[in-house]
Amino acid sequence: MVDRTTRTTHQRYGNRISQSFMGILSAPILCLSGICLLAWNEGHFVTEHKAIDEGLRSVVRISSDTLDPSNEGHLVHFTGKAVTNDIIKDPDFGVAPGGILKLNRKVEMYQWVESKQSRTTKNTGGSTDTTTTFTYSKEWSTKPIHSSSFEEPRGHHNPGSMMFSDAAFEADPITVGAFTLSSVVTNKITWFRPLASTAVSTDTIPRNTAGSRAKPYPNGFYFGYSTTYPTVGDTKISYKEISEQLISVIAQQSGDTLSTFIASSGGSILLVDQGQHNAEDMFQHADDSLVLTTRLLRLVGFVVVFLSFQLLFGPLKVVADGIPFIGELVEVGNSCVSFLLAGVVSAATIAVAWFANRPFISILFFVLLVGASVGLAHRQSSMIGGGGGGSESDGDDAIPIAHAVRIDEIQEVPDTQFKDEPFASRVVSSPPMIGEHELKKPHGDIYMTLSK
């Protein structure tokens, strides 16, 4: 049985118009935000891309087993096994597996969750009716859900707080050969996997604590009557870990530790990958990620600018809703115009940012574009002026229009002048006249030709 409730709200035409005009106030701010994001994104891409190129040229490949003072302050690359002599322990449950670098505890509670779906219909006269369906289901959640804010809180009560909270534990120190990894490096070690169930036991839980009521559960513990049929308030805890393993690092050597390398462009380099990787592959992976991020942010910037124009033209759509069928047409037109304007603004912003961050390439591209445009225009002009464009008669008797004489009125040619011709009479309506020869057809006019 689906647990749901429905609410319908009515909005008057005047209120809709007032709200749409309020949207105009936020449209410039939203548009400016999108433009700033697009401009920053292009600059960030250039800065980081130059840093990657510089790093690829200057990186020093070393062994992690020894420290070479001559590499101090230089960008270095090495591969080695990350290990620790520290033993991580979760004090609440006594979980202390050996040989791991990081341990994460995840806590979930079974709770009521509210989801809603709305459908708006337009009425004659511009008013709207919005029907919202609220659906309630039970799900596992990592955060407490306050049922007091539900549309229908009766029968959907959740506990006010959770028994435990998430926790993260990290070994200290973590070393790779002669290097001690700083927090900026260990923060990039994020490839977790579930902790083996054999490392978790209820026997390690301290007595007379909240955790002493725990039941065994895959990769963790369970608090509740039944793991198969959970009820609201049941809690489950699971663990994930990162074990000692081989890693590849590109960073700046700073004594016996590592730090972020700052390139001459202002970009930063600090790369950490799982397993063994050469420097070229790591830089290529970083560049691919940079390109993907840049494209995604371009899309986000375009959407932000598009929404700003939607808000700007919003009142037109709402006002048009007062007339049946007109509102839908205006809404489609609003979306099309907003899409085109957003595309123009986004493209112009990216182009300006390109010019600002890549002046040499931008000037070269501009010169090539202008040269191609001038060449194309010259070619078209030559074809029109020099007869390359073709005529209605390609024979040897074709005469350029520049040598024709124009007649200002309609003339009828006497029958006796061309009595031996197939057509005894021709009528010429204000063409350039050249007597016995065929004419070229000028652009924009249609003439009958007179032949002997």
pLDDT in tens, 137-161: 999 999 999 999 999 999 999 998 9
Least confident of 90-104, 205-219, 277-291, 361-375: 361-375
> What pLDDT sits at residue 401?
44
Whether 250 is covered by a domain: the verdict is yes
Least confident of 63-77, 120-134, 177-191, 251-265: 120-134
Task: Answer yes or no: do 286 and 395 share one domain.
Answer: no
Residue 142: HSE in the Cβ half-sphere, 13 Å Cα cutoff:
6
Domain edge (last residue) among 290, 324, 344: 290
Task: Answer yes or no: do 146 and 256 share one domain.
Answer: yes
Whether the CB-CB separation of 135 and 4 falls below 8 Å is answered with yes
What value does the mean pLDDT take over residues 114-136?
Answer: 89
> What pLDDT sits at residue 420?
52
* Total domains, the chain: 2
Whether 222 is covered by a domain: the verdict is yes
* Strand 60-61 with 75-83, pairing: parallel
> What pLDDT sits at residue 452?
41
H or E, element range at 180: strand 179-180
Task: Answer yes or no: do 268 and 399 share one domain.
Answer: no
436 versus 315: the higher-pLDDT residue is 315
Prediction pTM value: 0.73
Whether 280 is covered by a domain: the verdict is yes
Task: Answer yes or no: do 399 and 286 share one domain.
Answer: no
Task: Answer yes or no: do 267 and 399 share one domain.
Answer: no
Task: Answer yes or no: do 421 and 275 share one domain.
Answer: no
Nearest CA among 428, 437, 381, 382 for reference residue 404: 437
> What pLDDT sits at residue 117?
93
What value does the mean pLDDT take over residues 337-359?
Answer: 89
Whether 131 is covered by a domain: the verdict is yes
Tokens encoding 255: 């004594």
Whether 350 is covered by a domain: the verdict is no
Max CA pair span of the chain: 129
Burial of 441 (0-12, 13-18, 19+ CB in 10 A): middle
Residue 416 has pLDDT above 90, yes or no: no
Domain of residue 259: give its range: 70-290
Task: Answer yes or no: do 401 and 253 share one domain.
Answer: no
What values do phi and psi take at 272, rounded to 5?
-135, 125
Task: Answer yes or no: do 277 and 395 share one domain.
Answer: no
Domain edge (last residue) among 258, 290, 322: 290
Residue 169 has pLDDT above 50, yes or no: yes
85 versus 380: the higher-pLDDT residue is 85
User: For the stretch 249-271, what's the b/e string if a residue is b when 16 or more beta carbons lie within 10 angstroms of its beta carbon?
Assistant: bbbbbeeebbeebebeeebebbb
Peptide bond into 230 cis (omega under 30): no
Whether the CB-CB separation of 246 and 81 falls below 8 Å is answered with yes
Tokens encoding 127: 């008013």
Residues linked to residue 122 through DSSP beta bridges, in sequence order? 128
What value does the mean pLDDT take over residues 351-359?
Answer: 82
What sign results for the dihedral spanned by CA atoms 379, 385, 390, 394?
negative
Helices (H) and strands (E) in the chain, counts: 6, 21
CA separation for the pair 318, 314 (Å, rounded): 6
What value does the mean pLDDT take over residues 311-334?
Answer: 83
Nearest CA among 179, 141, 133, 124 for reference residue 13: 124
Least confident of 76-80, 333-337, 357-361: 357-361
DSSP states along 245-289: EEEEEEEEEETTEEEPEEPTTS-EE-EEEES---HHHHHHHHHHH
Whether 370 is covered by a domain: the verdict is no
* Strand 432-433 with 261-262, pairing: unpaired
Residue 76 has pLDDT above 90, yes or no: yes
> What pLDDT sits at residue 404?
46
What value does the mean pLDDT take over residues 83-94?
Answer: 92
Residue 386 banded pLDDT, cuts 50, 70, 90? low
Whether 6 is covered by a domain: the verdict is no
Most confident among 3-17, 64-78, 123-137, 427-441 (mean pLDDT): 64-78
Residue 425 banded pLDDT, cuts 50, 70, 90? very low
Q: What integer best gives the mean pLDDT of the chain?
A: 84
Task: Answer yes or no: do 243 and 129 share one domain.
Answer: yes
The one-letter amino acid code at 312 reads L
Whether 46 is covered by a domain: the verdict is no
Domain edge (last residue) among 290, 325, 356: 290
Tokens encoding 177: 């050969």
What value does the mean pLDDT take over residues 5-31?
Answer: 87
Task: Answer yes or no: do 283 and 394 share one domain.
Answer: no
> What pLDDT sits at residue 2?
59
Residues linked to residue 246 through DSSP beta bridges, in sequence order? 81
